[in-house]
Amino acid sequence: MDIKQYLDSTYLKTSEQSLISEKENDEIVKAAINEAISERFKLIMIRPEYVALAKELVNKLNSHLLVGTVIDFPKGTSSTEYKCSEALNAINNGVDELDYVVDYEAFKRNELDYVKKQVVECTRLGLSSNKVVKWIIEIAALNNHEIVQLTALIKNCVISNFNESQYDKVFVKSSTGFYVTHDGSSNGATISAIKLMIENAFPLPVKASGGVKSYEDAVQMIRLGVKRIGTSSAKQIANNEITNTDY
């Protein structure tokens, strides 16, 4: 199986997180973008401040690589206005796909009307600009019941407010890769959680992010029904090499 068109090659660390200078981090981002172009992955996922650079490199090389970014990352607790402002800036810089972090803490507090309104408004902004939208639900912060409920909430918001022709442009995504679990358990995609997401997101597609560490893991996820896989080790996975990264 050629899995490259399922892979969203990802680099989301800041210079502070990597304990390197901004210039060094910039070079890592450039290398990640160029690798994604040369390997012909589906998409490069980078932070918003690098979207313009990524589009410049993609256009310069006449590549079909899509450029994605994360919005309100990694905690998702900002206001709807902040999310939309950050997304609009990325749209103006040429982004192709917007991966919003849903306010899962508000969801857990049962502030469902607020979460629904945010999902609808932010999704509308993306779709009206012909962008793919993904909602990161952060499965490691949720129990199974909450995974089912939040996935279904997003699905129902989309079905109630948008056209059927747009359903395949709104994903439910598992993880940021930055959530710190208290017991050392996985903070990324697991088979059990992805099954719950696929069952309750349909007809929306699902993206598995984090936790995919080998070609076999990727194939298993694809066979379950995921349409995208987010990983910082896309080249190693595509080349059937096992990785030790968390995301």
pLDDT in tens, 114-148: 999 999 999 999 999 999 999 999 999 999 999 99
- pLDDT tens sequence across 192-246: 999 999 999 999 999 999 989 999 999 999 999 999 999 999 999 999 987 776 6
Annotated catalytic residue within 99, 131, 217, 235:
99
Residue 182 pLDDT > 90:
no
64 phi and psi angles, rounded to 5 deg: -95, 5
Domain ranges across the chain: 4-238
Token digits for 144? Answer: 């199974």
The verdict on whether 173 is a catalytic residue reads: yes
Annotated catalytic residue within 13, 131, 169, 207:
207
Calculate what percentage of the chain has a pLDDT beyond 70.
98
Q: At 247, is the pLDDT very low, low, confident or very high (cuts 50, 70, 90)? A: low
**pTM of the prediction?**
0.96
CATH number for the domain whose boundaries are 4-238 = 3.20.20.70
Annotated catalytic residue within 83, 134, 173, 235:
173
